Amino acid sequence: MLNKLTTLIRHLWLDASDARRAIPPDMLQRVTRRVAASERRHSGEIRICVEASLPASYLWRLSRQQSLRSLTRQRALALFGKLRVWDTEYNNGVLIYVLLAEHAIEIVADRGVARHVSPAQWKAMVARMAGAFREKRYEEGLTQALEETSAVLMAHFALDASQNGPPGQQNELPDAPLLQ
């Protein structure tokens, strides 16, 4: 009971301003440039979302049946849809979701990427990044997440040097991380 109360207070206390403090404007610009540079080398789309805390509607579901881990995953899946990461032309969008209140990371990949990368591989990738987030080294953690995701997309969706992308491809998703 005390753990649940502590979790509720932590999530209700944090808001979008905490996400902006964790990812200041200069870091946001650097990460945005890294996403753009990555996407010039493959046809995939990477979207980063850093959220300070879960919305209250998620927290009220916290119970014996729904763990915080499960709610974090559900939130990442909901944002995957809401941010239209699933709606890229080649079905190779990837969402990197960071929940600051829990120092949690979720990676959600569209079906085109999921065919090539097992859930166990994503889980191992997340485990390697988690240390940086727990220690509040957000830029290092985001950079590592971006580099590992880019490596996956390069391995399966690489563009050759003469391409600017597949015919008709545009930058379908914003490069700047969403902070909320």
What residue segments make up the domains of the chain, in order of their start?
Answer: 2-159+169-179
The token duo for 46 is 């990477």
pLDDT at 171: 87
Question: By three-state DSSP, how is residue 92 classified?
Answer: coil
pLDDT at 164: 53
pLDDT at 99: 94
- How many CA atoms are closer than 13 Å to the CA of 106, on its beta-carbon side? 21
The CATH code that applies to domain 2-159+169-179 is: 3.10.310.50
The mean per-residue pLDDT over the stretch 163-167 comes to 51
pTM above 0.75, yes or no: yes
How are strands ordered across the β-sheet holding 104-109? 104-109, 93-99, 45-51, 178-179
Name the average pLDDT for the chain. 90
